[in-house]
Structures are given as structure tokens and as C-alpha cells.
Homo-oligomer: A and B are copies of this chain.
Amino acid sequence: MPDSTPSRILDELAAILGPRGLLTEPADIAPHLSDWRALYRGAAFAVARPASTEEVAAVVRLCAAAGVPITPQGGNTSMVGGATPDESGRHLVLSLARVNRIRALDPLDMTMTAEAGVVLKAAQDAAAEAGCLFPLSLGAEGSATIGGVLSTNAGGNTTVRYGNARELMLGLEAVLPDGSIWNGLRRLRKDNTGYALRHLLVGAEGTLGIVTAAVLRLFPRARDTALAFCAVADEDAALALFRRFRDRDESAVRAFEYMSGTGVDFCTSHIEGVTLPLEARADHYVLVDLASPRPDAQLREMAESVLFEAMQAEEVTDAAIAANEAQAQKIWRIREEHPEAQKREGASVKNDVSVPVSKVPEMIRRCSAALRELIPGSRPVPFGHIGDGNIHMNLEQPEGMDPAAFLARSHDIMDCVNAVVRDLGGSFSAEHGIGRLKTDMMEDWRGGAELAAMRAIKAALDPQGLMNPGKVLP
């Protein structure tokens, strides 16, 4: 933006948005300039906080006319710097936080129409109050917003049963790069009327337009649950156990999580209140979370039966089934505290990768061996969603090593993991997206016909390149 522009556009923005809708003081803007992981610190001449779809559209039209780049922002919990402006100071940050009404909830249709700024936890709560379930569940659910989880196609723990954010969305409303409002809030399971714009916007990270509202799918709430924490013989046994549960009743497997002995050790050492629910330590663990709307599903009995078979087959060496909800929550904490426990243990590098489900054991083994060879003494901490092939193949620094020296090897570590993942037909970004962190990998992984098509679509819908520039496409 030319130096002369800011004051004029600020006046116009103020006229549209009013005093609550525009932040221009450095102290007010600052929280919007850094990403959650503190990988980037950008700049912006203002933060727009529109309160309605119409205001979002007015802001986008103004920016389109003035050639001002826009960085859309939801809960600002991106793991890849997806909601952080660049350092130029030319960007306007457009926060959706005030576009946050739940417009409708229909327990007969099993749909909820929620605006982009609705926090994921608030959407879950609204569904629960109506006796329904909105199943998307992830660590940042207390801050992440509906617009953000759709724009990044968030995954989380329940993908194995309910799919990613994409599969939970029936319709969208969005402001397109020219400032037009597209109302695609259709509450339909079947609607074959042209190109699937809604699926193009989901996962586009705000680079093709700004999601302002969505029709979300709801499900019947669980009336029977069972939760087991198991020590398993090795990575193959973890996968074999998943297969046993899936083949018995795939619709009952709400989550199926793998954890390494190392990661669980970190949790029990560093996190108060986290204890191992088994008698002896193991090198590999699995958390099995079962749920059904049938009160008579007898999931505890099913879990016991499957675990008995798996013990006979020497896949499972020990297991505990939660006796009540409090115990279940305590077991879930072992899994949820992995990021915090890793942080307390020292520096670590995250790798959010996926492979075909059948390849997970090989991926964990090969990555762990390669990482130990790359940095002797380093400690692989693989954990995550084995049921959908998405493992967080994280690496903890060697004990006593200088954290900065370890983090200086971040790119070597990511390259090391990605080489194995690629060989196994996997992806370098499973659920976190591309953002700013991984744009430089797009050419290598998605180059050729695929990236050319993406670029053609971007140029067609956002010819000025003003929507979240610097993200997704290199």
C-alpha cells in the first residue's frame, strides 16, 4: 500500500466499522501479529473487527478497491503461521471474532448454522444443549473458531469416526475476493448443482475468500461409552488392535490414539495428576475411546471381549478400562498433555504427518531410527491418531543439549521425517495445513499439474492476490 493510503482507508474503515470495529493502537494490534507457536511476528496497519457478514463484505470491497492485502484471523491458533500477516505492515488483519452468532440449530435436521467467529467449544456446547453432538474435537477447541477450523479443514481426535471439518460441513457463506457475498448455506445432504465451491474454500486457508458462516452436521449424542488404556507389544500390535475394534464395530470407535513409552514418561514425570493406570511401564500404549447412541450397546463388554482376544494373540500386554467418567477424563489427560510435557522436558520439533493407516508402524519405526541417527541422543515422541494415519512424529532434544542448537536442526529433522513419509505415500501436512511454515514445500510435493491448477484457481478468483498473501501457495 502506498504511504499515502493508510489514513484514507482508515477513515473509510472507521466509517464502516465504528469505534469497536477497528483497532489502530499498537498495543491493541499486537496480539494479532504473532502466531500461537511464536514462529512469526508480522505487522499490520490496523485490525478490522466487523460484526456481520455485510461488514466483512464492505471491508473486503474497500481493500479490493485500494489494493490492500487482507490477513483473515479466527482464534489465531494456527500451527503453521496461517493467520499471521507478513512483516511489511501493508496488511489489514481481518478478525472474525465478532461475527459469532449461532443463527440456527435444528435437532430434527441435525444441523447448526454458525457464524465464522463462533468458538469451537461454544458450538460443541450449543449442540449438547440441544441434545446433540458436534463431534469435531481438538486441543485448541477453547480458542479455535468455526471459520478457522473450516478454512484449515481441521482434524483432531474424532476424524476416525466423523471425518475432518470438511465432512462435517453441508453449506457455507463466504465473502469472495471481490467483496461479493456468496450464500451457500444449504442444509442439504444431496445437492448436485455445479462445482463444489464449499469444498474449494474449506482448506484454502482464507486465500480464496473469507468464510463467514457454515451449516454444520450434528449427530446423536452418546448414550453408552467405554474407554480403555492399553500397553501393546509394538507398533504393529497397536495397529492390529485398531483393526480388531474397527472390524467389530467401526461406528463405535470414536478415537484411537497411539502413544510412545517416552511420551507417557514425560507426562507422568512433568504433569501433576497424570499417572500411569497400569502396573508396569511399556514402550507402546494405545487409548481406545468407544461411544454409541445405543444405551444397550454394551461397549464395555465389547471392549473386554476384544481386549481378551488381543491378549491371547499377545498384542496387548496389559489394559485398564475406565470405571467412570472421571477415570476416563484422567486417562485422556495422558494423551492431551503430550505437547505440554514435551515443552517441559526441553526443546522439541513437531512433525504433523500422515501415511496410509497400514503404513503407520513402519513409519514410526523408520522415522525413529533415522532421527536417532541424525541427532544421537535425541528422543522420538510419536503420538496421535493411528486410526486415521496421522501421527505427530515429534522429536525431543537430547538431555543436556543446548535447546537453541537443537532447534537449529529443525529443518534437517523435518526433512528426515518427510523423506520416510514420502516414501510411504504420505503427506507432509496432515491436519495443520500449509500456512506460512510449509509453503516452500509445496513445489516439491505438489508441483506439476496439481500446483499449476491451484495457481490457476487462485488467479481466477483472487486476481489481485490480496487474500491472505504468502500462505498456501509458494
The reply to whether the CB of A202 lies closer than 8 angstroms to some CB of chain B is yes
* Tally of A interface residues using CB under 8 Å: 93
User: Contacts A250-B220, A388-B190 hold; do A454 and B294 have CB atoms under 8 A apart?
Assistant: no
Question: When chains A and B are docked, how far (Å) is the Cα of A75 from the Cα of B249?
Answer: 34
> Using Cβ atoms and an 8 Å threshold, which residues of chain B touch A355?
188
> Using Cβ atoms and an 8 Å threshold, which residues of chain B touch A450?
182, 184, 194, 197
* Interface window among A342-350, A372-380, A428-436: A428-436
Question: When chains A and B are docked, how far (Å) is the Cα of A35 from the Cα of B103?
Answer: 43
Whether B294 contacts A248 by the Cβ 8 Å rule is: yes
Identify which of B186, B200, B430 contacts A191 (C-beta below 8 A): B430
Whether B195 contacts A243 by the Cβ 8 Å rule is: no
> Using Cβ atoms and an 8 Å threshold, which residues of chain B touch A109?
356-358
Q: Find the B residue at minimum CB distance from A215.
A: B356
The contact string, 1 if C-beta is below 8 Å from chain B, for chain A 173-211, is 000100011101011111111111101101110001000
The reply to whether the CB of A326 lies closer than 8 angstroms to some CB of chain B is no
The reply to whether the CB of A382 lies closer than 8 angstroms to some CB of chain B is no
The reply to whether the CB of A322 lies closer than 8 angstroms to some CB of chain B is no
* Interface window among A83-91, A259-267, A456-464: A456-464
* Residue from A152, A189, A251 whose CB has the most chain B CB atoms within 10 Å: A189
The reply to whether the CB of A219 lies closer than 8 angstroms to some CB of chain B is yes
Whether B167 contacts A250 by the Cβ 8 Å rule is: no
Question: When chains A and B are docked, how far (Å) is the Cα of A329 from the Cα of B457?
Answer: 47
> Using Cβ atoms and an 8 Å threshold, which residues of chain B touch A294?
248-249, 302
Q: Find the B residue at minimum CB distance from A293.
A: B249
**Number of identical monomers bound together in the oligomeric complex:** 2
* Interface window among A45-53, A272-280, A404-412, A440-448: A440-448
The contact string, 1 if C-beta is below 8 Å from chain B, for chain A 13-43, is 0000000000000000000000000000000
Whether B453 contacts A188 by the Cβ 8 Å rule is: no
* Residue from A248, A425, A431, A453 whose CB has the most chain B CB atoms within 10 Å: A453
The reply to whether the CB of A111 lies closer than 8 angstroms to some CB of chain B is yes
* Residue from A111, A180, A191, A446 whose CB has the most chain B CB atoms within 10 Å: A191
The reply to whether the CB of A231 lies closer than 8 angstroms to some CB of chain B is no
* Interface window among A122-130, A158-166, A332-340, A395-403: A158-166
> Using Cβ atoms and an 8 Å threshold, which residues of chain B touch A208?
195
> Using Cβ atoms and an 8 Å threshold, which residues of chain B touch A292?
249, 251
Whether B189 contacts A390 by the Cβ 8 Å rule is: yes
Q: How far is the CB of A458 from chain B (nearest CB, A)?
A: 8
The reply to whether the CB of A11 lies closer than 8 angstroms to some CB of chain B is no
Question: When chains A and B are docked, how far (Å) is the Cα of A108 from the Cα of B357?
Answer: 8
Identify which of B182, B204, B358 contacts A106 (C-beta below 8 A): B358
User: Contacts A176-B453, A357-B109 hold; do A155 and B190 have CB atoms under 8 A apart?
Assistant: yes
User: Contacts A180-B452, A248-B293, A461-B453 hold; do A445 and B193 have CB atoms under 8 A apart?
Assistant: yes
Whether B434 contacts A356 by the Cβ 8 Å rule is: no
Q: How far is the CB of A247 from chain B (nearest CB, A)?
A: 5
> Using Cβ atoms and an 8 Å threshold, which residues of chain B touch A220?
246-247, 250
The reply to whether the CB of A225 lies closer than 8 angstroms to some CB of chain B is no
> Using Cβ atoms and an 8 Å threshold, which residues of chain B touch A246?
110, 220
> Using Cβ atoms and an 8 Å threshold, which residues of chain B touch A268?
none
The reply to whether the CB of A56 lies closer than 8 angstroms to some CB of chain B is no
Q: How far is the CB of A153 from chain B (nearest CB, A)?
A: 5
The reply to whether the CB of A310 lies closer than 8 angstroms to some CB of chain B is no
Question: When chains A and B are docked, how far (Å) is the Cα of A440 from the Cα of B222?
Answer: 45
Whether B453 contacts A192 by the Cβ 8 Å rule is: no
Question: When chains A and B are docked, how far (Å) is the Cα of A155 from the Cα of B192?
Answer: 9
Q: How far is the CB of A257 from chain B (nearest CB, A)?
A: 14
> Using Cβ atoms and an 8 Å threshold, which residues of chain B touch A196?
153, 166, 199-200, 202-203
The reply to whether the CB of A473 lies closer than 8 angstroms to some CB of chain B is yes
Given A193-B434, A453-B461; 19 other pairs, CB 8 A cutoff: A106-B358, A111-B356, A164-B190, A167-B167, A180-B448, A181-B449, A186-B425, A188-B430, A190-B390, A191-B429, A192-B430, A192-B434, A193-B438, A194-B450, A194-B451, A194-B454, A220-B246, A249-B294, A457-B460
3 closest A-B pairs (Cβ-Cβ)? A251-B251, A199-B199, A460-B460
A-B contact pairs, 7 of them (CB 8 A): A182-B450, A188-B425, A190-B427, A191-B427, A195-B208, A196-B202, A456-B460
